[in-house]
């Protein structure tokens, strides 16, 4: 735990019970009556036993299928309109005609494991559809489902412990510019470091920021610097630490704030909409929006921030957002609650610790110093899936880890926004 801001019964048992009760009943019937009708009753009950055995096997296969689907949850979380329906159709097409009833039950159990995660990152229309599906699934649930969930939870817990002890995964790429704008690989946490360089005459006001992979090679990813003589905070982001010019070939994106320093927009390196083609094919994309809650009363406590990013399609590609004007931009759409193709995330609320008299978050050993800048980005309905986390480990060194669907450019820009001064938020 790191300070945030204070300075930071099983299916087989059920079958056995059924067998015992059936045996008792057959014994009573043999003593009372030995007529042909009693023998037919025995045959029926023996058939019912035989039918239960394959059911038990199928239930086990259902639990395996269910666990596989749970591993795929993060990918399905961030998909938007239409993609969920197409996936459900594919699953339905796979069912065999001979066992249609059993297969439909298994598909329902599959959907149950990913439904909660799926609905988190869909638009309002898709969420309503999933709510209806959840109600239908609840009616199909039984005792075996709860047992399967317990088993899957145990397996999940074991997996998490292994991940905590495992070293940073090896990330390899041929094209740096392509890598920094692509979503993180699914199931992989990209572990990085941000270093702040404040040395020099003007770097106290305009420090340089470097973004590296947190591995033995310290692979360089991005560099950023606040531009001078701008009305609002404006950061240039480059894939070359020595070339931080707006017109340079290595320019990949920028971060721009409003006058109060409470709202930020992340852009890629394409053209301004005013200079783009009529079809907007070469216009710049809005990659993310960051909103810091204002603190007009001057109350002490952790920062509150909201992050808005474009959703993902069925191919796990980012849905492009190229507004023609700021009135149709990501922040205005969020303000007006027009969230089509958008995903809203928040920082995880720290917990107050009486012993340390501070707000704390569990960074799993990745953050070692208290700071108001420490934060974790999650969805409000799934606090266990950490999309991004950022925190201090030295005066000018910070760790930054991000997961799918976030990319390096988005994560680095969000970190830069936390460095920028926010008079209205402190």
pLDDT tens per residue, range 249-264: 899 999 999 988 899 9
pTM of the model: 0.67
pLDDT tens column, 369-425: 888 889 999 988 788 899 999 999 999 999 999 999 999 999 999 999 999 875 555
Of the listed ranges 77-81, 217-221, 299-303, 409-413, the one predicted with least confidence: 299-303
User: Phi first, then psi: what are they for 208, rounded to 5°?
Assistant: -95, 145
Sign of CA dihedral 205, 288, 116, 77: negative
Tell me what percent of the residues of the chain surpass a pLDDT of 70.
57
Residues 344-353 have a mean pLDDT of 90
Domain-embedded: residue 35: no
Which of 213-217, 264-268, 369-373 shows the highest mean pLDDT? 264-268
* Mean pLDDT score across all residues of the chain: 74
Q: Do the Cβ atoms of 148 and 141 come closer than 8 Å?
A: no
310 has a pLDDT exceeding 90 = yes
| Per-residue model confidence (pLDDT) at position 113 | 38
Q: Which of the pair, 162 or 213, is modelled with greater confidence? A: 213
68 has a pLDDT exceeding 60 = no
Peptide bond into 405 cis (omega under 30): yes
Q: What is the dihedral of CA 37, 40, 44, 46, to 10 degrees?
A: 120
Confidence of residue 348 (pLDDT cuts 50, 70, 90): very high
* CATH code, 264: 3.20.90.10
Domain-embedded: residue 55: no
Residues 228 and 222: their CA atoms lie apart, in Å, by 19
Residues 279 and 273: their CA atoms lie apart, in Å, by 10
Residues 373 and 370: their CA atoms lie apart, in Å, by 9
Domain-embedded: residue 196: yes
Confidence of residue 111 (pLDDT cuts 50, 70, 90): very low
Residues 336-363 have a mean pLDDT of 88
Domain-embedded: residue 231: yes
| Per-residue model confidence (pLDDT) at position 28 | 45
210 DSSP 8-state letter: E
The structural domain count of the chain equals: 1
- CA angle, corner 209, sides to 291 and 7, nearest 5? 65
Residue located via tokens 């969920």: 84
Confidence of residue 166 (pLDDT cuts 50, 70, 90): very low
| Per-residue model confidence (pLDDT) at position 1 | 66
Q: Which of the pair, 345 or 245, is modelled with greater confidence? A: 345
Which of 23-37, 234-248, 373-387, 396-410 shows the highest mean pLDDT? 396-410
Tell me what percent of the residues of the chain surpass a pLDDT of 90.
35
Q: Do the Cβ atoms of 186 and 404 come closer than 8 Å?
A: yes
Domain that holds residue 298: 176-419
Domain-embedded: residue 306: yes
E strand residue ranges, 276-327: 286-292, 305-310
Sheet holding 2-3, edge to edge: 2-3, 358-361, 351-353
What is the phi-psi region of residue 325: left when phi exceeds 0, alpha when psi lies from -120 to 50, beta otherwise? beta
Mention every residue, 6+ apart, whose C-beta is less than 8 A from residue 374.
2, 3, 4, 5, 8, 361, 363, 367, 390, 391, 392
Mention every residue, 6+ apart, whose C-beta is less than 8 A from residue 117.
73, 74, 76, 77, 382, 385
CA distances from 412 to 60, 222, 354, 384, 415 (A): 44, 8, 33, 22, 5
3-class state of residue 57 by DSSP: helix
Domain-embedded: residue 180: yes
Domain-embedded: residue 92: no
pLDDT tens column, 43-60: 544 544 444 444 554 545
| Per-residue model confidence (pLDDT) at position 336 | 94
Q: Do the Cβ atoms of 257 and 417 come closer than 8 Å?
A: yes
b/e sequence 316-351, b meaning 16+ C-beta within 10 Å? bebbbbbbeeeeebbbebbeeeebebbbbbbbbebe
Confidence of residue 14 (pLDDT cuts 50, 70, 90): very low
| Per-residue model confidence (pLDDT) at position 77 | 67
Domain-embedded: residue 261: yes
């Amino acid at each position: 735990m790191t300070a945030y801001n204070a300075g930071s019964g099983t299916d087989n048992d059920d079958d056995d019970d059924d067998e015992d009760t059936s045996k008792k009943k057959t014994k009573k019937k043999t003593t009372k009556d030995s007529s042909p009708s009693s023998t037919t009753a025995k045959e029926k009950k023996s058939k019912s036993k035989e039918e239960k055995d394959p059911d038990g096997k199928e239930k086990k296969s259902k639990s395996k299928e269910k666990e596989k689907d749970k591993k795929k949850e993060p990918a399905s979380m961030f998909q938007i309109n239409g993609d969920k329906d197409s996936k459900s159709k594919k699953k339905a097409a796979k069912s065999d005609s001979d066992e249609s009833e059993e297969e439909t039950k298994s598909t329902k159990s599959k959907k149950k494991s990913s439904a909660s995660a799926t609905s988190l990152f869909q638009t309002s229309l898709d969420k309503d559809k999933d709510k209806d599906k959840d109600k239908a699934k609840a009616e199909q649930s039984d005792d075996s489902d709860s047992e399967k969930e317990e088993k899957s939870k145990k397996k999940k817990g074991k997996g998490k412990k292994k991940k905590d002890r495992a070293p940073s995964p090896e990330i390899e790429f041929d094209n740096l510019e392509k890598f920094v704008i692509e979503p993180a690989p699914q199931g992989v946490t990209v572990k990085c470091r941000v270093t702040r360089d404040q040395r020099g005459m003007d770097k106290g006001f305009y420090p340089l920021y470097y973004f590296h992979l947190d591995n033995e090679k310290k692979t360089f990813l991005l560099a950023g610097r606040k531009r001078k003589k701008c009305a609002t905070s404006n950061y240039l982001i480059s894939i070359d630490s020595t070339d931080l010019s707006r017109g340079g070939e290595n320019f990949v994106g920028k971060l721009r704030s409003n006058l109060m320093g409470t709202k930020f927009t992340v852009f890629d390196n394409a053209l301004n909409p005013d200079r783009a083609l009529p079809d907007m094919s070469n216009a710049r994309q809005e990659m993310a929006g960051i909103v810091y809650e204002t603190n007009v009363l001057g109350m002490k406590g952790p920062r509150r921030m909201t992050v808005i990013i474009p959703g993902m399609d069925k191919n796990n590609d980012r849905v492009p957002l190229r507004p023609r004007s700021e009135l149709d931009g990501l922040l205005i759409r969020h303000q007006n609650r027009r969230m089509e193709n958008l995903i809203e995330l928040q920082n995880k609320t720290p917990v107050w610790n009486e012993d340390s008299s501070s707000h704390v978050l569990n960074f799993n050993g990745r953050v070692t110093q208290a700071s108001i800048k420490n934060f974790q980005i999650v969805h409000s309905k799934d606090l266990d899936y950490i999309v991004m986390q950022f925190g201090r480990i030295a005066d000018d060194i910070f760790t930054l880890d991000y997961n799918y669907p976030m990319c390096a450019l988005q994560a680095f820009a969000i970190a830069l926004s936390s460095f920028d001064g926010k008079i209205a938020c402190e």
